[in-house]
Every structure is written in structure tokens, then in C-alpha cells.
Amino acid sequence: MDILALTQAHQTPFYVYDAAVLRARVGDLTSAFKGQLVSLHYAVKANDNPAIIAMAAREGIGACLVSAGEMRRALKGGMTPDLMLMNGVAKSDEDIRFALSHGIGQLNVESIPEISVIADIARDMGVIANIGVRINPEVTADTHSNIATGRRTDKFGILVEDLPEARRVILSRPELKWVALSCHIGSQVHNVENLRMGYTVMADIFKSQMDAGLDRLDLGGGFGVSYKGDNFSGPAEFAAVIAEVTRDLQAAGIRIQLEPGRYIAAEAGTLVTRVVQVKHSGETHFVMLDAGMNNLLRPALYEAYHPISLVRTSKAAPIPCAVAGPICESSDIFGRDRMLPADIARGDVVAIGYAGAYGMTMSSQYNARPHLAEIMVDGNQATLIRRAFTAEEFDDLTLQNGVRK
């Protein structure tokens, strides 16, 4: 992929995705689970561009959603509603109505009060809602605290001790068809044994509820990627564990659902940005970019690592740099002590890698900075798959005296 050539046609910063990498990661997953009774549901929150969703859809992958907006994106990307499931701890009535009106395959409830909300809406619409119950299995994943979701104190799901009451409410409502149990212990999990613990707990709970007629077990996602080049467990290892833990369930015709997102999208994406200034401040060598934390939030939010490289060739010795953006926050730092050539200078192009997941979807317009363009590169073909706002369009989003300008 010729990033420098792309900068001749597109103003930095922008996102670029490598179609070959996307296809490879989708292929890794579909190959690993071939022969198992497993369905894959791409977590749209990782990257919601319909062009990326379409690449998963073409391989028969469904969608994991958390809003009506994500369902719209998944539909636009060619995914079918029956292969969609929706999580969400506070789904709005509009989210639920939209999902049911479009025939979603499964709504995962995350609290006992939500059961009655979905039932009431389904009754008003004259439909039957397929629901799963998301369980909080109280399994702590070896990941950043902000993306661990299976602890007792996390907001997600229903505690095992509350499952009998959830079951009672569900079975009392004819508008509901209980089809699944669900869980998700966290994101960016690289220790397959963490996942084994969660899968084992969920398999045991599922067996205790099989008399209710459930036919699928949603084990969530969380498959990690190696931002630093470390050795991480991959789909083959995850598939082996799932086969082992759920062998008897699959033999009984129970379908296993998985929700990979980061694994599909992360490696394929690069945030392309340009050096605005190089600043020496005491002992710190700052490289100031035209991209900021509003474009890629993960380093500021999670202290997440992304590889950073100078795009051009340099023979200069590398020196430690603090790579920063233009946002008016001290946390607007992409990385400290990053070794970059000493001759890095204003105008140079920098690539921030593994930015395909939770990059554009978590971006904002903070400091009145418009959203970026997104480009898909497939072989020698570069296609604009989402254009950036122009300054005039961005200004048009504001209101003055209650009237859109």
C-alpha cells in the first residue's frame, strides 16, 4: 500500500484500510470454526463502515449490534436481520422497535426490567421477540480494566443469582421466545485460558436451563490482536477451546455464537497523519501531528499502544519522541519514548497502525474538528468509502437562534 501516493490525493489526516488484510482475518475465523456448529457475528462497534461490514457479510458472517444506528449500517453492508443480535445495557424503545420491525434474530436482555420493556413493545407491535439473556459470569479477563465486562461490579448482564427471576418473567410473557444465553467477559483478551474459564461457566449455566428450550449459546467476542507484535492466541486456539468446552452442546444441536470485531478490523486500518511541528521542550522531543485524540481515542482512553512509523525512508539515527496531536488536552499523546528518525520534520507523513478497530467509530468533533475520510485499498485500487466533512458542511451542522444555518 503506497501511503505517500494516497496523501497526494487526500488531505491528511485520514483512515485507510487494506482489503487484503480484512479478507485474511475473516478467512482466519471462518476456517478455524469450519466443522463446528458456530455462527460468527461481526461486532459493528469495532468499525461500522458499510464497506467493511460488506466484506464480512460476503462470507456469511452476521452482526453484533448495540443500537438501531448500527443495525442500519449492518443492513447497508448487506447483512441479513436473522443473523443479527443486539446487546446493550440501555437499549432505547426506538432501538428495540427498529430491531423488531426489521426482524432481528435476537435481542440480548441485560436486566430484569428490560425483559418487560421488550415484551410490552413486542405485544404492541404484534410480534414475537427472540431474546437471549446476557449473563455476567463474574470472570475477570486479563485485559485493561476499562474493557473488562464480566466482573460482578460491571454494568453488563444479569448476575447468575438473578437468573431464576429473569426466567420466571420471561416465561410469563407470551410475546417472548427465549432462545439463548449470552456473555462477554471483555475485549482484547489474549489469554485463551481466561476465555476457557468464561466458556466453561456459561456452558454449565446453559445446561441448567436447557429445559426452557434454548437453542443457542452466545459466548461473545474478545479475541485480542497483537499491537506490539507479541505472540497472542489466535482463532485456531480459540476454536480448539470452544470445541472442547461445548462439544456435548454442539452434538445436541446447540449453536454457538461468537462476536469478533477487533480481530477482523484492527490490523487492516492505518491512521495517516502529517507532522505539523517538531518541538524540543527540555529533555522531551515532541512530534506534533495533524491527527489528535478526537480521531483515535484509544491511547488517551486506555493508554493503548499503536505502532507509529515514519512513512519515508531515513538513514538518521532513531531518537525517543513523544508523538502528540493538536487537541487542547494533555492526554492527547499517541505514544511516548517512540523511536523515530532524528531528522523527522514538518510535513513528513506518519502512519499509526492497527487503527482499524475502535478508531473511526470512537472519533469525535472535539475542538470543532470534522470527521475524517476513509479509504479502502484493494490491490492497486483506492476507493473513498466515506468522505470527510468540508468546512462548510461542518459549519452547517450548527444552529443559530434555533434555525439551522
Q: Could you tell me the CATH number of the domain that includes residue 114?
A: 3.20.20.10
Q: How far apart are CA 98 and CA 240, in angstroms?
A: 37
**7 & 65 share domain:** no
Residues 19, 64, 83: CA angle, nearest 5 degrees:
90
- Given a cut of 60, whether residue 402 has pLDDT beyond it is no
From 64, 183, 321, 328, the catalytic residue:
328
Mean pLDDT computed over 116-123:
98
DSSP state of 100: H
**108 & 181 share domain:** yes
Does residue 360 form part of some domain? yes
**Of 208, 235, 265, which residue is a domain's last?**
265
Q: How far apart are CA 9 and CA 283, in angstroms?
A: 37
Does residue 19 form part of some domain? no
- Given a cut of 70, whether residue 187 has pLDDT beyond it is no
199 contacts 241 by C-beta, under 8 angstroms: yes
Closest to 192 in 3D by CA, of 149, 138, 266, 141: 141
Residue 287 sits in a domain whose CATH number is: 2.40.37.10
285 contacts 322 by C-beta, under 8 angstroms: yes
The SS3 call for residue 189 is: strand
Mean pLDDT computed over 375-402:
81
Does residue 404 form part of some domain? no
Q: How far apart are CA 48 and CA 24, in angstroms?
A: 19
Q: How far apart are CA 233 and CA 239, in angstroms?
A: 10
Q: What band does 221 get if pLDDT is binned at 50, 70 and 90? A: confident
**244 & 288 share domain:** no
Does residue 22 form part of some domain? no
* DSSP string covering 352-387: E-S-SSSSGGG---GGG-PPPEEEEEETTEEEEEEP
**257 & 328 share domain:** no
> 255: which 3 cell numbers?
449453536
Query: Around 378, how many Cα atoms within 13 Å sit in the side-chain half-sphere?
Result: 11
**183 is annotated as an active-site residue:** no
**318 & 336 share domain:** yes
Which residues are 320's β-sheet partners?
Answer: 339
149 versus 169: the higher-pLDDT residue is: 169
Does residue 202 form part of some domain? yes
**146 & 76 share domain:** yes
Boundaries of domain holding 353: 3-14+268-399
Which residues fall within 8 angstroms of residue 272, CB to CB, at 6 or more apart? 3, 6, 7, 12, 13, 14, 15, 16, 311, 349, 350, 351, 352
Among 73-77, 189-193, 317-321, the range scoring the smallest mean pLDDT is 189-193
Work out the number of other CB atoms within 10 angstroms of the CB of residue 204: 12
> Percent of the chain, pLDDT > 90?
80
**Of 206, 230, 265, which residue is a domain's last?**
265
Closest to 149 in 3D by CA, of 110, 181, 184: 184
Report the mean per-residue pLDDT for the chain: 92
Among 146-155, 175-184, 187-196, 231-240, the range of highest mean pLDDT: 175-184
**188 & 321 share domain:** no
**260 & 277 share domain:** no
**228 & 310 share domain:** no
**119 & 69 share domain:** yes
Q: What is the per-residue pLDDT for 1? A: 81
**78 & 198 share domain:** yes
Q: What is the number of structural domains in the chain?
A: 2
**Of 207, 238, 265, which residue is a domain's last?**
265
**333 & 298 share domain:** yes
Angle between helices 93-101 and 112-125 (to 10 degrees): 50
